[in-house]
Amino acid sequence: MNVIDEAKRCLQCKNPMCSKGCPVGAPINTAVGKFLAGDIAGAGEALFSNNPLSLVCSMICPRRAQCEGACILNRKGAPVNIGAIEEYISDYYLNIFSPRPSDGSQGKAAVIGSGPAGITIAYILSAKNYSVTIFEGHDRIGGVMRYGIPEFRLPKSILDRLCAALTKAGVKIRPNTAIGANLTVDDLIRDGYQSVFIGTGVWRPNKLGIKGESLGHVHFAIDYLSNPEVYALGKKVAVIGAGNTAMDVARTAIRHGCRDVTLIFNRGPMDITAWAEEAEYAKIDGAKIEYHKSTVGFIDEGLLLADTEILPDGTALAVPGTEKTFPCDSVIVAVGQGPRAVIVSSTKGIEVTGKGLVAVDDCGRTTRPGVFASGDVVTGAKTVAEAVNVSRRVAEAMHDYMQARKPAIKTQSNQ
């Protein structure tokens, strides 16, 4: 595919539906116009200033349901391949991006977690001349983008380039530092951070809570995707679930030598929660799907499955007496994740929802003044673009909070 030819297909609509279909309102018209005029740097700046993760989003967003699905050409034919254009421009721009280092004159902010939300907050605040420190529990930044999205969908080298750009912008990064274990939010505030952002994502895998879940051949999806190379799954693998994560697990297992991979789903084809294109790719890669099957137990030989009955209220129930053994070498449970409570449990004044997610207002303010949150730790698992969109608003709220406190901070420092 020729990216230039695709860009020329853009109608440069006065009312660009593609931008309205994008969760972050990407200025696609502006970028395409500059690109075709020979100003690729300007095109890249337009995309990056709107969304620091434009390159990531161009590769992993569900474009059929967003920008390309909204493209006016999609009504009578094929939409403009916006993802390919954005990827080409954003990849170029990230190579030449040279941010002005923050001078730290506006204050000090802490960012806990370096997933999509944390990276976005760090870029925006550093550009406003805040001294920003990222505290990352893993050894490298990226959060779910690095440890939850397979390499074949998002090359990790892109995240390394983003890390280098953050460093150029003056952002300090503390890897292998889990806030809530040794250091706490109270320690950060004590040490002069005028606001704290929590963007730790959802890293606690949901379990089925049935017999045999602790057996040696049973694994959780988020753990497997973090480092698939260390797992010896065997040739036949069952994946429980039918969301995007389950599809990623199935495709990753196939790429690591598993020859027979089956997704176990307790509902029908129309109920699959994964994006349509992700399910299609999984099938093309060789994954099979068993519909209307409930996992009722883990056994040494594999799984114990039962037929599923869907009640009028939508509840899926295993039908007694229909249990059968599904032999396999390994099982990976991919039924979602929840937040770890270590930060909240070690910090007074931060309320959570009934699901254990951090409770915030529309601007990411938690119930403790000066502490903000967004991303998956607030909403549950969402797309990167959705996390970026909310985090831009949260960054402005943090800026307003710290600016409002500047006189008090100066007075205290002069005492």
The CA-based diameter of the chain, rounded to the nearest angstrom, is 76
Give the three-class secondary structure for 148: coil
Query: Residue 221 and residue 412: Cα distance in Å, rounded?
Result: 48
Q: Each residue of 125-160: b (16+ CB within 10 Å) or e?
A: bbbbbbbbbbbbbbebbbbbbbbbbbeeebeeebbe
Mean per-residue pLDDT pooled into runs of 10, the chain (415 residues): 92 94 95 97 97 96 92 93 97 95 96 94 97 95 93 95 96 93 90 94 84 96 94 97 96 96 96 93 97 96 95 91 97 84 71 82 92 84 87 96 76 44
Amino acid identity, position 168: K
Burial of residue 42, with CB atoms counted within 10 A of its CB: 0-12 exposed, 13-18 middle, 19 or more buried:
middle
Percent of the chain scoring above 70 in pLDDT:
96
E strand map for 291-400: 293-299, 302-310, 316-318, 324-327, 330-333, 337-338, 371-373
For the segment 266-308, what is each residue's pLDDT rounded down to a tens digit? Answer: 999 999 999 999 999 999 999 999 999 999 999 999 999 999 9
